[in-house]
Amino acid sequence: HILCKYSIFRSSCEMVSKSTNEKLKQGIAVRFHGEEGMGHGVVREWFDILSNEIINPDYGLFTQSADGTTFQPNSNSSVNPDHLNYFQFAGQILGLALYHRQLVNIYFTRSFYKHILGVPVNYQDVSSIDPEYAKNLQWILDNDISDLGLELTFSVETDVFGAMEEVPLKPGGSSILVTQDNKAEYVQLVTELRMTRAIQPQINAFLQGFHTFIPPSLIQLFDEYELELLLSGMPEIDVEDWCRNTEYTSGYDRQDPVIQWFWEVVRSLTQEERVLLLQFVTGSSRVPHGGFAYLMGGGGLQKFTVAAVPYTSNLLPTSSTCINMLKLPEYPDHDSLRDRLLVALHCGSYGYTMA
Q: Which of 4, 13, 243, 322 is catalytic?
A: 322
One-letter amino acid at 67 equals: D
Task: Give me the long-range contacts of 253-259 (CB less than 8 A, separation at least 24).
Answer: 258/308, 258/328, 258/330, 258/331, 258/337, 259/306
- Residue 29 CA to residue 172 CA, distance in Å, equals 54
Pairing of strands 71-73, 296-297: unpaired
Q: Give catalytic status of residue 322 as yes or no.
A: yes
Say if residues 99 and 214 touch (Cβ distance below 8 Å): yes
- pLDDT (tens place) for every residue of the chain, 355 residues total: 444 444 777 778 777 877 877 887 777 666 555 554 455 666 777 888 888 888 888 888 999 887 677 899 998 898 888 899 999 999 999 998 898 888 888 889 889 999 999 988 988 888 877 888 888 888 898 888 887 777 888 988 877 666 778 888 999 988 898 988 999 999 999 999 888 888 999 999 999 999 999 999 989 888 888 898 889 887 778 899 999 999 999 989 999 999 999 999 999 998 888 988 998 888 777 777 678 888 877 667 889 999 999 998 888 998 887 788 999 999 999 999 999 999 988 875 444 333 3
Whether the model clears a pTM of 0.95, i.e. scores above it, the answer is no
Helix (H) or strand (E) holding 132: helix 131-142
Question: 68-78: buried (b, 16+ CB within 10 Å) or exposed (e) per residue?
Answer: ebbbbbbbbbe
Residue 222 phi/psi, 5-degree rounding, is: -110, 160
CA dihedral for 22, 27, 31, 32, sign (positive or negative) = positive
